[in-house]
Amino acid sequence: MVPPTEVEKVRAFIRANIGKTLFSTGAKIVYFKGSLYNITGSTHDPQQVRDYEGENWKSLLVRKAELDDARCYVTNLSAPKGSNHDNFAVGGHMTTNPDGEVEKGGISYLMPLCKWHNSTARNGEAFEHTETKMLRLTGFMEGETPTTFMARMPSEKSHVLLYLDPLSGRWESSHLDAEQAIAPEAKLFSDAIKITQPSEYAVLENRGDGFFIKAAKLA
């Protein structure tokens, strides 16, 4: 069985949530001292996909918490010689729950990790840390990727366009005002984001209590 790529996971996330209200998301700097555990929601994700997503979560830590020079936070569970510890390779999605579970729409934490500690092999292990600056994330959903999470971050605009960029081959997002969001497809892409019309996209509307997928075109 071929493992799902992030492109396929975003597509599946959109398809699974058409007609539903998605939680708004947020990322707030906090200083948390307690033990944390890997979230187990990605247990069956292939390692290469998990790492790719983790690198995107890392960019959120760098941008929002200015942790450019951070190292892997974990001070217990010594990594074997030759591992990539203590490099800050990925943003680790963490919870205070020892079972690694986070309820839909619940709270999680994002902190710098090396790939060895971010592995599913460390699920269920308590991570201790002396560095405490991290991000408190709200709006967690099953099947979430950095792309879908960050698209629903606070904005003054009323809509979000998720689209599969024909040049990069990746899902990207752009915030739209109400007038742009109701424009015909050709005008929407030429005026709002100035790219060739993608083959797949979704328009999300912020309705105050969350985001509603108004329209979607998927493969």
Structure tokens at 155: 């904005």
Number of H helices, E strands in the chain: 6, 10
**pLDDT tens figures, 173-217:** 989 888 888 877 767 776 666 666 778 999 999 998 899 998 899
Structure tokens at 205: 């509307």
* Helix or strand holding residue 6 (H, E): helix 6-17
| Pair 202, 19: CB distance under 8 Å | no
Q: Give the start-to-end residue ranges of the domains of the chain.
A: 1-25+143-219, 26-138
Contacts of 87 (CB under 8 A, 6+ apart): 71, 72, 114, 115
Residue 134's pLDDT is what? 97
Contacts 24+ apart (CB under 8 A), 182-189: 188/161, 189/163
Structure tokens at 135: 């991000």
pLDDT band at 50; cut points 50, 70, 90: very low
97: left (phi over 0), alpha (psi -120 to 50) or beta: beta
**pLDDT tens figures, 156-170:** 999 999 999 888 888
